[in-house]
C-alpha cells in the first residue's frame, strides 16, 4: 500500500461536503443561489399545483362531461402520470445537449397546451388527452439539473430539498383551494387557471431564475444512461421503486372515489376544504415523530412496515365507514400522515442505497415509478369503481398494502453512509482507477467514483469510522 505521503502528491483537492464537522452544513445561500432556488421551487410547485387541483374535485363534476364513465374519469385523473414517467428522463438528457432553460420553456409550453385542451374540452376524451399532454411537459429532472447548475455543492442538497418540499405544499394547497375553485368556476375554470400558472412559470424562468454560467453533468442530481441497468437491477432500489409505485397507485385511486364519499357523508362539494385543511395539518404533525424514528434512530424497517400495515387498515376503515364524516376525517389523518412519511423516508433510502455517483439515476427511475403508479392508480381505481362500485376502490388500497408488506419485509436496508464530494484540482496522472484506490485506502471510505468529465470524486463514507483529518489533508493536497 502506498504511504499517505505518496498519496498526497496526487492531484485531488477541494473538499465539498455538507458534514457539520467540516463546517459546510451551515453554509448560507448566496443571493444568486437564493434567487435561483426560490424561482425554480416556484416553477415546480405551480406546475404541480395545476396537476393536483383536479384531484379533490374531478370525480364530483366529471359526470357533466359527455361520455364520462367511472373508468374514464379515473383515466383522466391519472393520465398525466404515463407521459410524465416516460418523458422526464429523456428530457433531462436533452437538456444536457441544448440547455436547461430551452427544455423548461418547451415543457411549460406543452403543459400550457394540455391545459388549454382540457379547458376547452367538450367530452371526457378531450380531458384525457389534455391531461396526457400536460404530463408530456415533464420538466422535473431538468429543474433538478438546473438547480444543480446554479448552486454550489455545499448548498446543493439544501436547494434540491427546497424544490422537493415545494411539491408537498402544492399537494396540500391543491386539496384546500381545488373544491371552492371548482364550485365557482367549474372544472374548465381550474384548467384555465392551470394554463395561467404555466405562463407565470415562464415569466419566473425569464425574470427570476438566473442563467447558469455553464450546464454540466451532475451524477448525483441527474440520470446517466450508462447507469440505468445497474439501478434497475439493484435489489434494494427495485423494492423502493415498487414502494413509491404502490404508494402513488393507492393515493390516486383513492381520489377517484374519495370526493364522492365525502359528499355522501354530508359535506357539500364547496366545503370539502374544511375537511382537508385540518386533516393535512394534523397529518403533518403526526408524521414528524416517525420521520425522526426512521432517520435519527435507524428504525426504517419497523417504521415502514408499521406504516404499510396502518395504511391497509385505514383503507379497510374507509371501506367500512365511508358514510361517516368523522370517521373519514380520522382515517384520512392516518392516510395523509403515512403518505407524507413515505414521501420523506423512501427518497432518503434511495439516496442511501444508490452507489456513489449514481444517485441522480436512481432518483430518476424512482420518480418515473411514482408517475407510473399515479397513472395506473387512476386507471385501476376507475375500472374498479365501474365494475364493483365506489367502496371496492378502498379494498384495492388494502390489497395493495399486502403486496407492499412483502416488499418491505424482504428488503435489505441500506447502510447509513454519508455522501461526500471532492473537487479534483487536475486530472489524475494515473487515471481515475488510481485515484479511486487512493481514496479507498482512507479508513471509512466505502465507495469512490471518479467523474473526470465533472472534475469530481463521489464518495460514500462511514462517518463513524472515517479519518476526516486524513481526508481533509488529502483534499487540500495538490
List Cα–Cα distances, 136 to 102, 106, 107, 199, 222, in angstroms.
15, 10, 7, 16, 18
Same-domain pairing of 227 and 361: yes
**CB atoms closer than 10 angstroms to residue 238:** 17
Please check the confidence at residue 412 and state whether its pLDDT lies above 90. Answer: no
Please check the confidence at residue 220 and state whether its pLDDT lies above 90. Answer: no
Domain boundary among 384, 409, 434: 409
Across 104-118, 138-152, 184-198, 381-395, least confident range: 138-152
What would the pLDDT profile of 19-51 be if each residue is shown by its tens digit? 433 444 567 878 888 899 999 999 988 999 988
Same-domain pairing of 225 and 337: yes
Partner residues linked to 94 by β-bridges:
none
Same-domain pairing of 58 and 18: no
Interval 192-211 mean pLDDT: 94
Return left, alpha or beta for 455; rule: phi > 0 is left, psi -120 to 50 is alpha, else beta: left
Same-domain pairing of 147 and 272: yes
**Rounded distance between C-alpha atoms, residue 253 and residue 396, angstroms:** 8
Instruction: Find the CATH number of the domain harbouring 463.
Output: 3.30.70
Residue 448 is classified by DSSP as E
Q: Give me the pLDDT at residue 155, please.
A: 76
Q: Which residue has the higher pLDDT, 439 or 390?
A: 390
Mean pLDDT score of the chain, rounded to an integer? Answer: 86
Please check the confidence at residue 15 and state whether its pLDDT lies above 70. Answer: no
Same-domain pairing of 440 and 323: no
What would the pLDDT profile of 92-106 be if each residue is shown by its tens digit? 889 888 889 999 999
Q: Give me the pLDDT at residue 8, please.
A: 33
What would the pLDDT profile of 439-475 be if each residue is shown by its tens digit? 887 888 888 888 777 777 788 888 778 777 777 666 5
Instruction: Find the CATH number of the domain harbouring 76.
Output: 1.20.1250.20
**Rounded distance between C-alpha atoms, residue 137 and residue 119, angstroms:** 17
Q: Whats the size of the chain, residue-wise?
A: 478
Same-domain pairing of 377 and 447: no
Same-domain pairing of 401 and 441: no
Domain boundary among 409, 438, 463: 409
Same-domain pairing of 366 and 308: yes
- Domain of residue 437: give its range: 4-24+416-476
- Number of domains the chain contains: 2
Same-domain pairing of 262 and 388: yes
Same-domain pairing of 369 and 437: no
Same-domain pairing of 272 and 226: yes
C-alpha cell at 179: 373544491
Same-domain pairing of 179 and 35: yes
Domain boundary among 374, 393, 409: 409
* Contact of 230 with 236, CB cutoff 8 Å: no
- DSSP per-residue string spanning 291-340: HHHHHTS--HHHHHHHHHHHHHHHHHHHHHSTT-HHHHHHHHHHHHHHHH
Q: What is the pTM of this model?
A: 0.88
Amino acid at each position: 500500500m502506498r504511504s499517505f505521503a505518496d498519496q498526497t502528491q496526487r492531484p485531488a483537492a477541494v473538499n465539498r461536503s455538507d458534514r457539520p464537522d467540516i463546517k459546510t452544513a451551515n453554509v448560507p445561500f448566496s443571493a444568486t443561489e437564493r434567487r435561483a432556488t426560490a424561482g425554480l421551487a416556484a416553477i415546480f410547485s405551480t406546475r404541480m399545483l395545476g396537476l393536483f387541483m383536479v384531484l379533490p374535485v374531478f370525480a364530483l363534476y366529471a359526470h357533466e362531461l359527455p361520455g364520462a364513465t367511472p373508468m374514464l374519469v379515473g383515466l383522466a385523473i391519472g393520465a398525466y402520470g404515463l407521459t410524465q414517467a416516460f418523458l422526464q428522463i429523456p428530457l433531462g438528457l436533452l437538456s444536457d445537449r441544448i440547455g436547461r432553460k430551452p427544455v423548461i420553456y418547451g415543457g411549460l409550453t406543452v403543459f400550457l397546451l394540455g391545459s388549454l385542451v382540457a379547458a376547452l374540452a367538450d367530452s371526457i376524451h378531450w380531458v384525457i388527452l389534455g391531461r396526457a399532454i400536460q404530463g408530456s411537459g415533464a420538466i422535473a429532472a431538468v429543474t433538478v439539473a438546473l438547480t444543480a447548475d446554479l448552486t454550489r455543492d455545499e448548498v446543493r442538497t439544501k436547494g434540491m430539498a427546497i424544490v422537493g418540499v415545494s411539491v408537498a405544499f402544492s399537494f396540500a394547497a391543491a386539496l384546500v383551494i381545488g373544491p371552492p375553485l371548482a364550485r365557482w368556476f367549474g372544472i374548465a375554470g381550474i384548467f384555465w387557471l392551470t394554463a395561467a400558472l404555466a405562463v407565470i412559470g415562464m415569466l419566473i424562468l425569464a425574470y427570476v431564475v438566473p442563467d447558469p454560467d455553464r450546464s454540466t453533468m451532475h451524477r448525483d442530481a441527474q440520470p446517466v444512461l450508462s447507469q440505468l441497468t445497474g439501478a434497475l437491477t439493484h435489489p434494494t432500489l427495485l423494492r423502493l421503486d415498487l414502494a413509491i409505485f404502490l404508494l402513488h397507485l393507492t393515493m390516486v385511486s383513492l381520489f377517484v372515489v374519495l370526493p364522492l364519499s365525502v359528499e355522501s357523508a354530508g359535506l357539500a362539494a364547496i366545503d370539502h376544504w374544511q375537511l382537508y385543511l385540518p386533516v393535512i395539518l394534523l397529518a403533518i404533525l403526526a408524521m414528524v415523530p416517525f420521520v425522526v424514528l426512521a432517520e435519527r434512530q435507524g428504525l426504517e424497517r419497523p417504521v415502514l412496515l408499521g406504516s404499510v400495515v396502518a395504511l391497509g387498515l385505514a383503507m379497510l376503515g374507509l371501506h367500512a365507514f365511508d358514510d361517516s364524516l368523522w370517521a373519514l376525517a380520522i382515517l384520512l389523518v392516518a392516510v395523509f400522515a403515512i403518505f407524507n412519511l413515505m414521501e420523506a423516508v423512501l427518497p432518503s433510502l434511495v439516496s442511501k442505497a444508490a452507489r456513489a455517483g449514481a444517485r441522480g439515476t436512481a432518483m430518476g427511475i424512482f420518480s418515473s415509478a411514482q408517475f407510473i403508479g399515479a397513472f395506473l392508480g387512476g386507471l385501476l381505481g376507475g375500472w374498479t369503481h365501474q365494475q364493483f362500485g365506489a367502496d371496492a376502490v378502498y379494498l384495492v388500497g388494502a390489497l395493495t398494502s399486502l403486496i407492499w408488506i412483502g416488499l418491505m419485509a424482504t428488503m435489505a436496508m441500506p447502510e447509513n453512509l454519508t455522501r461526500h464530494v471532492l473537487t479534483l484540482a487536475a486530472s489524475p496522472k494515473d487515471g481515475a482507477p488510481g485515484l479511486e484506490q487512493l481514496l479507498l485506502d482512507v479508513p471509512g471510505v466505502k465507495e469512490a467514483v471518479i467523474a473526470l468529465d465533472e472534475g469530481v470524486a463521489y464518495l460514500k463514507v462511514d462517518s463513524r469510522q472515517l479519518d476526516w483529518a486524513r481526508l481533509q489533508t488529502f483534499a487540500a493536497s495538490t
